[in-house]
Every structure is written in C-alpha cells, then in structure tokens.
Amino acid sequence: MSQVQESVDVEVPVRVAYDQWTQFESFPEFMDGVESITQISETRNHWVTKVGGVQREFETEITEQHPDERVAWTSVGGDVKQAGVVTFHRLSDTSCRVTVQIDWEPQGVTEKIGAAVGVDDRQVKADTKRFKAFIESRGAETGAWRGDVPAGGGAATGGTAAGTVDAPGPHDEGEAQNPSGAI
C-alpha cells in the first residue's frame, strides 16, 4: 500500500475551500488525470481517470464528512483500491490549510514503479497547487453541500436529497449542485 500526503495553504476562508471541495464534478478542472466524476448519490461518485495512458473507472463512497473540517472516502467494488481524507484547517479569517492524504494499492508494474520513485507524490502536490490556484482565482466556491456524514458512512444529514447550494456557481444558477461525493 502506498501513501501520499500533501498540504497547501490557500488564501480563502476555510468555508470557501471546503465548499469547493464538495463540488466533486469540478475536480477535472484542477486534477490531472481525472477525466470525469459523476454523482451517483449523496455519498457515492463514479470516477473516470486516465493516467499514463491507462483509463480506469471506479466508484468511491464517502465514509465521513463534516462541514469545514473533513471529507473521507474509500473506493468500493472494482479493482481500484484507495482510501483517503482531506482536512481543512483555519489559519485566519481569510486563509486555511488543506491537507490531502491518500492510501492506495498500485496495480501492475508501471504503477508500482511510479509509486516507488514518487510519481504519485508529485501528482498530488501538483493537484493541490492547482486547487489553490483554482479557488484563489475565483475567490468563491462554485457551489456547496453542507451535509454531514457520520464516521462509517451513515446517512447524510443537514442537506436535502439533492443537496443545498450556498453560493450559486456558473452551472447551477441557484439549483442544487453535486451533493457529497469523494475523490
């Protein structure tokens, strides 16, 4: 099992960074290798990735989520084995630290070599820097889901089945957009 951990300080309030992170369908805008994420339910997402010429499709399930604090997930079914957590730490009224930790099982020789030489570390570092640039350039989130998922992935609370939006983004025009999901 490989583990990657990276932190980045962003010049937006913790709520803005957290709210943007709950907009999982926007991940392809700042995560290299993520082609699409489709929301299946409040706590499940379908991912399509392409890294090193290899395309994979898999699902993730939110196992814990608390507004302005953390989002934890695990892959479910399929061949992709990963779990992780993103935590949000208030530094001031206008800045916060976002920390990403991912545990994953490299598949095949190429992924195992890549993990051994730190390709995955560099990828996560680059993705967190792109998230920083993405949210700082906007200054506001594209939407939000403020629901809570207790540890263990129990029923979500604090949002409607379709989620809630605190700040309409360019694609939602005030409608609920992308409730909880995962990396």
Q: Phi and psi (nearest 5°) for 24? A: -60, -30
Q: What DSSP state is assigned to residue 28?
A: G
- The reply to whether 149 falls in a domain is no
pLDDT digits (tens, 9 = 90+) for 15-66: 999 999 999 999 999 999 899 999 999 899 999 998 877 888 999 999 999 9
The C-alpha atoms of residue 91 and residue 110 are separated, in whole angstroms, by: 39
| 160 within some domain | no
Which residue segment(s) compose the domain that 119 sits in? 2-138
Report the CATH number that the domain containing residue 129 is assigned in CATH.
3.30.530.20
Per the DSSP assignment, residues forming a β-bridge with 37 are 47
Asked if residue 77 belongs to a domain, the reply is yes
3-class state of residue 118 by DSSP: coil
Tell me, yes or no, if the pTM score tops 0.85: no
Asked if residues 124 and 100 have their Cβ atoms less than 8 Å apart, the reply is yes
- State how many domains the chain has: 1
